[in-house]
Chain A
């Protein structure tokens, strides 16, 4: 069983927090990852900063801007990933990245080095399944046992889900709302049904993300989702406290504990 799949074999929903690598620098983000994992993260999503993140809201845009104030190179990204992996080798790491930096680095080289650095899965919001590049990347990752995790949204019809199915592994990232990443107060009414349908189509665990920030939201959604993904709320803690590393660490760990503690067994 892959490391990602084994996380979901538990009856409790998985907590999947996200951080942008390099924010505010490449040393401190290792500390943030450590704090989140100690606080209860089951899988950690690592964002590779990109200059034009069209699927992200203001919090993550600002995080990328701070990260890109440091010299960017894919080798630094991979080294940082390896450091996080060596601290907690049993926690699966997943990259969330836009396609251009990977394409520029080269598929094969990237897949190979990411696997060595400890990456178990990849999420690429601007690479739809029906492109020649997905086909190529999927094969390259599959050979190495790295999952290609796809996004399914409220606007994705059933026939498209069936198309995505051929290229999806690990888990499905279900986008809970229209728009871009960012904290929201309300969650759409048909979320439970949509997640149920998604599970049926893919026979893969389904994790929900986009707009989730508070423990009570996480608790509610965890009743029917296999995992809860939280990006902007985590990143906001870094934005507000990053200049005081010990305080920031503490807040991240406490936040992770509060979310992880709120997740419970699924009713489905």
Chain B
């Protein structure tokens, strides 16, 4: 495993990125979390509990589906889907919240909080809040509450308090800031379940570790089915947790090309996209050193994406490292491209994907043609798109009449 080291963290850093740049009031909680996690990751009972909930509650392993009709329609490489949409709660997010809830329990915390953009992490947190009897609060931007009403209702039904955030751009970035403020106030009894591979150390490592089950299973399933590895792996990237979970198993398989797809939004001007790898510069946001979309004065520029889950002006520090080392190639797909792919996948394959994942599909469509028929592309289907149907219907102009 020595080779893996160049891609793994050293004291919370991934190359030049990562670290712990959070207010002093949170530092002890982060150290406590790091110490607890370092003990638990080697603890057999913890691993057994995690495995139990993965199998019996989340429904893992999630299937690997050969998308025969998409393959035919796109006329190129074979398309394979890792079905995180079939997890309980409908996305990969539950992999992480189950794990962090078990850590919170071990630390004796009674309350959990989370930030959420598209609401999938909020739902997954509210779910473990109900399951393990935590008092739960979810911070969500007002704009995202509008876009993702269904998920906000689900969270409340699960017993969580949903707190609308109206500061800043009223999206994920501001919900994250607000969750950090709440944590600073209630740090003695509260665990903050960070939802992506972002935030101060040890969060990027912890979230990656709980999500790497996606890549580990995929690798095993793909090998069993095809007696080889896929030629390319594609995942969407906002903060980057589904992508990081998927890539991790393949980092040392140099023949497997890894692609991350960010939100190109509606243009290349600041505020029109969430394409951190393309437009971001090294900076410090939400406790970590990473690539950040910022202006000439070092102020963070609001991000935009049709998909609330990708609408974040930063990216996980490990992704920033994988970008700078060249191991992963990061591309962009526009809002329109994602909407087109969303409709295409619905109609051709009978799967309603999350709008986030639709970005990955749109990129994979071109890649399939480029690679040709003898190759295989594995796409991480990070979540299902039930949450997006009303917003997509509005954007593509489907009226109630059309739907009936």
- The interface of chain A, by Cβ under 8 A from chain B, is 49-55, 57-58, 61, 65, 68, 72-74, 98-105, 125-128, 130-131, 150-157, 160, 175, 178-180
Contacts and interface: CB of A to CB of B under 8 A. Distances in A.
Contacts of B27: 128, 155-156, 160
Contact of A100 (B23, B173, B188, B284): B284
Given A54-B177, A54-B286, 7 more contacts: A54-B184, A74-B298, A126-B22, A128-B22, A155-B29, A160-B28, A179-B184
Given A52-B285, A100-B284, A151 B24 contact: yes
Given A99-B284, A178-B185, A179-B185, A52 B29 contact: no
Interface in B295-329: 295-301
A57 B297 CA distance: 22
Contacts of A57: 181
B164 interface: no
27 contacts: A52-B173, A53-B177, A54-B184, A54-B286, A54-B287, A55-B181, A55-B184, A73-B297, A99-B284, A100-B292, A100-B294, A100-B298, A101-B298, A103-B283, A103-B284, A104-B283, A127-B21, A128-B21, A128-B24, A130-B20, A155-B24, A155-B187, A156-B27, A175-B24, A175-B25, A178-B185, A178-B187
Contact of B21 (A74, A131, A153): A131
A157 B32 CA distance: 12
B168 interface: yes
A54 to B, nearest CB: 5
A87 B329 CA distance: 54
Interface in B228-287: 281-287
B365 to A, nearest CB: 35
A178 B299 contact: no
Nearest to A105: B298
Counting from the closest, the 4 A-B pairs by CB-CB distance are: A104-B298, A179-B185, A101-B298, A55-B23
B36 interface: no
A127 B292 CA distance: 17
B299 to A, nearest CB: 4
**What is the predominant secondary structure among interface residues of chain A facing chain B?**
loop
Main SS at interface, chain B: mixed
A113 to B, nearest CB: 14
B186 interface: yes
Contacts of A157: 28
Nearest to B298: A104
Contacts, number: 117
B180 interface: yes
Contacts of B76: none
Given A100-B285, A178-B184, A180-B184, A51 B23 contact: no
Contacts of B283: 100, 103-104
Interface in B182-228: 184-188
Interface string B10-41: 00000000011111111111000000000000
Nearest to A156: B24
A104 B282 CA distance: 8
A54 B181 contact: yes
A102 B298 CA distance: 8
Contact of A125 (B23, B185, B294): B23
Contacts of A99: 21, 284
Given A178-B184, A178-B186, A126 B21 contact: yes
B373 to A, nearest CB: 47
A233 B245 CA distance: 46
A2 B127 CA distance: 56
Given A103-B298, A105-B298, A61 B24 contact: no
A152 B25 CA distance: 8
Given A100-B284, A131-B21, A52 B28 contact: no
Contacts of B65: none
Nearest to B184: A179
A131 B296 contact: no
B167 interface: yes
A68 B299 contact: yes
B136 to A, nearest CB: 19
Contacts of A151: 23-24
B185 A180 contact: yes
A6 to B, nearest CB: 27
A126 B180 CA distance: 12
Given A128-B20, A131-B19, A131-B20, A73 B168 contact: no
A57 B283 CA distance: 22
Nearest to B13: A132
Given A156-B27, A156-B28, A51 B181 contact: no
Contacts of A103: 282-284, 298
Most buried by A among B28, B295, B297, B301: B297
B33 to A, nearest CB: 13
Q: Which of B25, B285, B286 has the most chain A CB atoms inside 10 A of its CB?
A: B25
A218 to B, nearest CB: 22
A73 B285 CA distance: 19
A55 B287 CA distance: 11
A132 B24 CA distance: 16
B321 to A, nearest CB: 16
Contacts of B24: 125, 128, 150-153, 155-156, 175
Contacts of A150: 24
A81 B283 CA distance: 24
A203 to B, nearest CB: 19
Contact of B25 (A58, A130, A153): A153
A262 to B, nearest CB: 27
Nearest to A180: B181
